[in-house]
Chains A and B, each alone.
Chain A
């Protein structure tokens, strides 16, 4: 569990003896860092998400799985604010963010990645990460033109943090390259780096292993499993890949046809007959 701290000393506290992620919960965080209740989203006549709730404990990796079209990505879009829920509530650190838009939620420490990678391909790798630190940087029009001590200090610090995160993610060698020129696997990592640099409370990962080969997948699993302690955050992992889910998640929620089907520790959930039925047995073979 011991980890070295980065140059800016962000991960100052060491987790030490905490056995499980659940024990790591702070006082007054019983409800979890992120909790959602009774989320509903309709698209015309289709109810894509129908009464789904989710509690994400501090420093936990929570998986959301389900067959194709079950509403996983819609759920993630509801959590991130890309879509507004028709009903239900979402709490982040105890405050109600249900009506906040995506930018506000991101500013409050709720970050996401996209299933089909969304980088800024025409900007450099390090610029991508610094854009992710929008909330940490300073100045707007006048500040941008005139600059000033405060603005430049924040810029330099952001750049430094960005570089350090890139280094940890093994991308520093291409910091000055255009993001669009990176290999697919590296683009996936860059997207996570962009979210991480802003020191989020919760990271929503939308199929981070999609399109990776098996070696890259194992690497990704290790990286994701290490995120909560390394960066003091919680992860919601929407995934297809059962192997990745069981390697990384402390608990898993299964949804099917937009409704909650089952939840609990991965091993238990993957044995659940209803889950197996929903997947037509395919889940078992991958465990």
Chain B
């Protein structure tokens, strides 16, 4: 086909340009989140607040990554945390005293993402043949396999150090300065170790956000959404569903892998029970609660689900009970999520589902 690009450039704007989303929707939201993060650093609340904020950043990145898989590509992944675990353990094993290997954080960040992406392909392969809930159970199975391996790979050869986990993981360093080693002061302005990690995590989260916003409206994002709505029609448009599915898994996995590397460096230790099914569910709940398919929704979901247990700390025992009730009620009152975007396959009704079904009479 002969596309006259030069003609598209010159002259008055073609009416189609009103629909050009490529550059419009990525920098703005990233800037907004960046300013929020900067404001937080300037205000510099307590270390406790920064720990929570860092957690929000980690979970936001995870939720945005999962949102690509579940929200855009429509592939229900119930073992997502495995990719996070692979990144975290990848760094822990190759940058600690356990095996006496100390590879640089900055090298391990892409390597961890790559490892997770490879696992993503492995999970994606059976996914090509399975559909819907079968796919969900395959991903769940993979997630369980990874968590069983993390616990049990201390015998016969000690690889993961089993249930004891890995301690003393290296800190990242930039030009001789170790991030998270000491508090730093610039005149009257101090950067505690927690704040340093907050900045690192926030940068990663901003990068992920930028990528997700770009991808959504790029060719691959369109292919994902098209595939989610009708595989047959996507095929008929020349989209290789195989490639689209695999790349959704690969992208989501890589995002989680990178988050894993950063988290391992932040905590300085990893334990196998941080990567259980319940964590996968937590991230999925963030995606759904926030509004499936929406990047801001994923962030909002992460914020709410990280903050809620913290706010409920006083009711310690009742924390999970209340968490459960909130999930149920949230789905009843707002099944499309807090910031549900209009386009995904979620509810297309204006009325809340329960109200609508009341009116028509529950069938």
Give the interface segment out of B16-24, B29-37, B46-54, B94-102.
B16-24
Beta-carbon contact of B214 and A102 below 8 Å:
no
Beta-carbon contact of A103 and B238 below 8 Å:
yes
Give the interface segment out of A15-23, A38-46, A172-180, A217-225.
A172-180
A90 CB within 8 Å of chain B: no
Beta-carbon contact of B226 and A126 below 8 Å:
no
Beta-carbon contact of B219 and A134 below 8 Å:
yes
* Given A144-B214, A145-B215: A10 in contact with B1 (beta carbons within 8 A): yes
Chain A residues within an 8 Å CB radius of B343: 122-123, 178
A27 CB within 8 Å of chain B: no
Beta-carbon contact of B235 and A139 below 8 Å:
no
Looking at A111, A122, A147, A194, which has the most chain B CB atoms within 10 Å of its CB?
A: A122
- How far is B19's CA from A141's CA once the two chains are assembled, in angstroms? 21
- How far is B172's CA from A262's CA once the two chains are assembled, in angstroms? 76
A235 CB within 8 Å of chain B: no
* Given A130-B222, A144-B219: A163 in contact with B16 (beta carbons within 8 A): yes
List residues of A (24-65) whose CB comes within 8 Å of B's CBs.
Answer: none
Give the interface segment out of A112-120, A238-246, A253-261.
A112-120
- How far is B348's CA from A154's CA once the two chains are assembled, in angstroms? 32
Distance from B188 Cβ to chain A, minimum over Cβ atoms (Å): 39
* Interface magnitude class on chain B: 35 or more
- How far is B4's CA from A119's CA once the two chains are assembled, in angstroms? 28
Chain B residues within an 8 Å CB radius of A248: none
Distance from B317 Cβ to chain A, minimum over Cβ atoms (Å): 42
A160 CB within 8 Å of chain B: yes
Beta-carbon contact of A126 and B19 below 8 Å:
yes
Beta-carbon contact of B342 and A147 below 8 Å:
no
Chain B residues within an 8 Å CB radius of A130: 222
Interface CB pairs A-B, < 8 A, 15: A81-B235, A82-B232, A106-B236, A119-B233, A122-B225, A131-B223, A140-B220, A141-B220, A143-B219, A155-B219, A156-B5, A157-B4, A158-B3, A160-B14, A175-B16
B251 CB within 8 Å of chain A: yes
List residues of B (207-253) whose CB comes within 8 Å of A's CBs.
Answer: 210-211, 214-215, 218-223, 225-226, 229-230, 232-241, 247, 250-251
Chain A residues within an 8 Å CB radius of B8: 153, 156-157, 160
A171 CB within 8 Å of chain B: no
Chain B residues within an 8 Å CB radius of A194: 237
* Given A123-B343, A134-B219, A145-B211: A80 in contact with B236 (beta carbons within 8 A): yes
Beta-carbon contact of A176 and B220 below 8 Å:
no
Beta-carbon contact of B16 and A160 below 8 Å:
yes
* Given A145-B214, A147-B22: A106 in contact with B345 (beta carbons within 8 A): no
Distance from B37 Cβ to chain A, minimum over Cβ atoms (Å): 20
A144 partner, pick from B20, B215, B233, B344, beta carbons under 8 A: B215
* Given A120-B229, A145-B210: A7 in contact with B236 (beta carbons within 8 A): no
Beta-carbon contact of A144 and B218 below 8 Å:
yes
Beta-carbon contact of A122 and B233 below 8 Å:
no
B7 CB within 8 Å of chain A: yes
Beta-carbon contact of B4 and A8 below 8 Å:
yes
A209 CB within 8 Å of chain B: no
Beta-carbon contact of B236 and A139 below 8 Å:
no
Closest 5 CB pairs of A and B: A144-B218, A163-B16, A118-B233, A106-B238, A157-B3
Looking at B250, B342, B343, which has the most chain A CB atoms within 10 Å of its CB?
A: B343
Chain A residues within an 8 Å CB radius of B223: 131, 134
A89 CB within 8 Å of chain B: no
Chain A residues within an 8 Å CB radius of B229: 119-123
Beta-carbon contact of B230 and A123 below 8 Å:
no
Chain B residues within an 8 Å CB radius of A186: none
Chain A residues within an 8 Å CB radius of B7: 7-8
B187 CB within 8 Å of chain A: no
B176 CB within 8 Å of chain A: no
A131 partner, pick from B22, B239, B344, beta carbons under 8 A: B239
Chain B residues within an 8 Å CB radius of A102: 232, 235-236
The residue on A at minimum CB distance from B225 is: A123
- How far is B6's CA from A153's CA once the two chains are assembled, in angstroms? 9
Distance from B240 Cβ to chain A, minimum over Cβ atoms (Å): 5
Beta-carbon contact of A9 and B210 below 8 Å:
no
Beta-carbon contact of B232 and A118 below 8 Å:
yes
Beta-carbon contact of A122 and B344 below 8 Å:
yes
Chain B residues within an 8 Å CB radius of A126: 16, 19
Beta-carbon contact of A172 and B15 below 8 Å:
yes
A135 CB within 8 Å of chain B: yes
Chain B residues within an 8 Å CB radius of A269: none
Beta-carbon contact of B219 and A138 below 8 Å:
yes
Chain A residues within an 8 Å CB radius of B221: 144
Distance from A161 Cβ to chain B, minimum over Cβ atoms (Å): 7
